[in-house]
Amino acid sequence: MGILEFLRSRGGESADKTKTQIARLAERASDKRAQPYDRQEAIHALIGMKSIDAAEPLLRRFTFSCEPSITDREEKDLVFGAIVAAGAGILPSLRAQVKKADTVGWPLRIARGVLDDDAYVTEVLEWLAPWDTEYAKFIDPKLQILGALAEVQHEAIAPAVERFLEDVNEEARFNTVAALFAQRAEGVSSALLSALASDESVRVRTRIAEELLARQWPVPAEEHDRVRKGLPNGFSIDAEGRMSKRAVVDLPWL
């Protein structure tokens, strides 16, 4: 065997050994039933390897909770810091987890930590794209994504989320209203006015009315009659279409 063949074989053996080590540590680090000390030892060992291959298994730590809650939080904070430090190379593994996750709170935090504002919004909108507005039994990830988009401003958000004003889920519509009003708009959109006029949820219509009240954005004249019919109790618009609110007193039964 020549020297080059020998070095290649040794390199292959080393890589295989590292993969085996990562797999062993990953199993222990993601074992909910393991003793905290054993699990944390494995987590620290993976962090110490300082590679994307070692950081990827750490994502599994966000898929379960354990007791006591303070230990659970400390471990997740530790893993979060290590994954963010690993950088944007973690994104392919993060996307794979998001596709099958029951919750995306931690993935959203990770994406926020490794991406700039534009890239973060682009990434999160890609996570949102597969969701539709029809009934689904479990939609927590969709709700969390819409909620996260209410915390940032970007020109791509409103066109991407506006369709969720027609969602069958009330909370999805409520989160969509928040996301739309969070953008740097100069006036209320026709889609929001339609929701204010006809959404079956008083909570959704109240949120829209309150936002219009706070901003004093006028409702266009041609929309006055339609919007007035859907205004929640206590709200009204004047001749210029600006929202006002009077105190509502509920009298007890006598």
Q: What is the DSSP letter of 244?
A: E
User: Is residue 11 pLDDT above 90, yes or no?
Assistant: no
Helix orientation angle between 91-100 and 117-128, rounded to the nearest 10 degrees: 30
User: Is residue 220 pLDDT above 90, yes or no?
Assistant: yes
The pTM assigned to this predicted structure is 0.87
Among residues of the chain, what percentage have pLDDT more than 90? 87
Q: How many domains is the chain built from?
A: 1
Dist CA 156 CA 217 (whole Å): 22
Q: Is there a cis peptide before residue 68, judged by omega within 30 degrees of 0? A: yes
* Residue 25, domain extent: 13-89
Terminal Cα-to-Cα distance of the chain (whole angstroms): 100
Asked whether residue 79 is domain-assigned, the answer is yes
Asked whether residue 158 is domain-assigned, the answer is no
More confident residue, 53 or 247: 53
Asked whether residue 83 is domain-assigned, the answer is yes
Asked whether residue 179 is domain-assigned, the answer is no
Asked whether residue 45 is domain-assigned, the answer is yes
pLDDT in tens, 15-44: 788 899 999 999 999 999 999 999 999 999
Asked whether residue 58 is domain-assigned, the answer is yes
pLDDT of residue 248: 62
Strands (E), the chain: 235-237, 243-245
Asked whether residue 247 is domain-assigned, the answer is no
Asked whether residue 172 is domain-assigned, the answer is no
